Amino acid sequence: MSQAQARAVQELTRIAPVIDDLGDRFAAAGEEIALVGGPVRDAMLGRLHNDLDFTTSARPEVTERLVKGWADAVWDIGRDYGTIGCRRGEYQIEITTYRSEKYDPASRKPSVDYGDTLAGDLGRRDFTVNAMAVGLPGKVFEDPYGGIVDLAHRVLRTPGRPEDSFGDDPLRMMRAARFAAQLGFTVAPEVREAMTEMAERITIVSAERVRDELVKLVCAPLPRAGLTLLVETGLAEHVLPELPALALERDEHHRHKDVYQHTLTVLEQTVDLEDRLPEGGPDFTARFAALMHDVGKPRTRKFQPDGTVTFHHHDVVGAKLTRRRMQALRFSGDETAAVTKLVELHLRFHGYGDGQWTDSAVRRYVRDAGELLPWLHVLTRADCTTRNQRKAERLRRSYDELEERIARLSEQEELASIRPDLDGNQIMEILGIPAGPQVGAAYRFLLELRLDRGPLSYDAAREALLAWAAEQA
């Protein structure tokens, strides 16, 4: 028995109460069932989770009947694809009928044909490391395509020809990049070649499926590896074209840092800083903001006579490009707004210099970042990739000082919930006006005053409001 199989046996013993029961129920009904795919692979890696996937000879209606009364909850949202889901204790379970799914050349959704054998089902899986199974209830290990050898060598191959696999489901090309990022696997040369030749076919896959795969890749332990594979095979040109566009042409007269490599380094440094975020990591908002923070540079690059290169307003342009890309990938409005704001604000700190900001400027920095302030802290720190250690240390000390000033002012003034010193009702009472646009204008004036001068007494705020109203009149 190999070391991987020994680890798998140990992991399967842990989940025996679930898989033994399930195997017995299906066998008693004359049906086959096997633990399959990712759970088998992860069991061999010693990292089996509580999400379990099974494949079976039973049709969905039979599966549903067999798990009812055994499972704590049952759902059939995947019935059209042959899948019945259920929960048993702490385990989330999906049971899918043997199947074969293929794309019509112009279709965004796979058609489903049920199969009759486990071997046939394993043959339609994406990669050999996911084409292993454990037959139940006898726990018989099935590996018809050499997945255990590829697992040992940490390489991704397809059970059959990669061209056939990617033709059946083009999203598998992105999964190859995701597994490279998640597991640190390399991609077999023939798989990489097929990805490169067939990259354009990813365009028939729905934006939602591409988005979900991209999120998994970005949130993986090694996102740089997966993103590099997307760029090198040409897939990124179709799913995230802003990334390869960062590889700007260089010449001997105009020098600037490699924006593409800088971006990937910022992403890696963001991963290292995620423990500063409220919920830790992996955090998609922080990582995707790092990935997109400089996408405005290609459109704003200007060559100067003295040999320097400028990227004026690349933060504003980058925010627009980020919003457009996230909308195209069908991200939610909240996710899009958060990442876009971070891209727009990522240069703000560089006006801080050696701490010349007034308290008013610090208040505005906090106000503009809002609840995204911890994420902006992380992005700003990660954006320092200089090899000049003296410069890097100076930037780090400056940001330490800014965070300390924010903490002091927050303690004194509750910056996170900063409001004018007078509310709307007080404004209407003092000025003798009804609700309407003038109240909003007065409120904005008082908010700016609060940011400039800090907290005011009621009398001081009232006096300033009356003076402002007189000027408006």
Please, what are the domains in the chain? 1-152 (3.30.460.10), 154-240 (1.10.110.30), 268-417 (no CATH), 424-472 (no CATH)
Q: Is 248 in contact with 212 (CB distance < 8 Å)?
A: no
**Spatial CA neighbour of 44 closest among 144, 125, 149, 123:** 149
**How far apart are alpha carbons 282 and 84 in whole angstroms?**
29
- Helix axis angle for 223-233 and 171-183, nearest 10°, is 150
User: 193: Cβ–Cβ under 8 A, 6 or more apart, which residues?
Assistant: 162
For 66, list phi and psi in degrees, rounded to 5: -70, -30
Residues of the chain with pLDDT under 50: 251-254
Beta strand 309-310 pairing with 302-303: antiparallel
Model pLDDT, residue 420: 83
For 46, list phi and psi in degrees, rounded to 5: 75, 30
**Spatial CA neighbour of 128 closest among 172, 181, 184, 78:** 172
Segment holding 23, helix H or strand E: helix 16-28
Segment holding 309, helix H or strand E: strand 309-310
Model pLDDT, residue 252: 47
Model pLDDT, residue 47: 84
Q: Is 296 in contact with 316 (CB distance < 8 Å)?
A: yes
**How far apart are alpha carbons 411 and 332 in whole angstroms?**
34
**Spatial CA neighbour of 22 closest among 66, 61, 79, 62:** 66
Model pLDDT, residue 253: 44
Dihedral sign computed on CA atoms, order 347, 351, 353, 358: negative
**How far apart are alpha carbons 136 and 257 in whole angstroms?**
57
User: 417: Cβ–Cβ under 8 A, 6 or more apart, which residues?
Assistant: none
Strand partners, 91: 88
3-state secondary structure 332-355: CHHHHHHHHHHHHHCCHHHHCCCC
Long-range contacts, stretch 437-445, CB < 8 angstroms, 24+ apart: 441/472, 442/468, 442/469
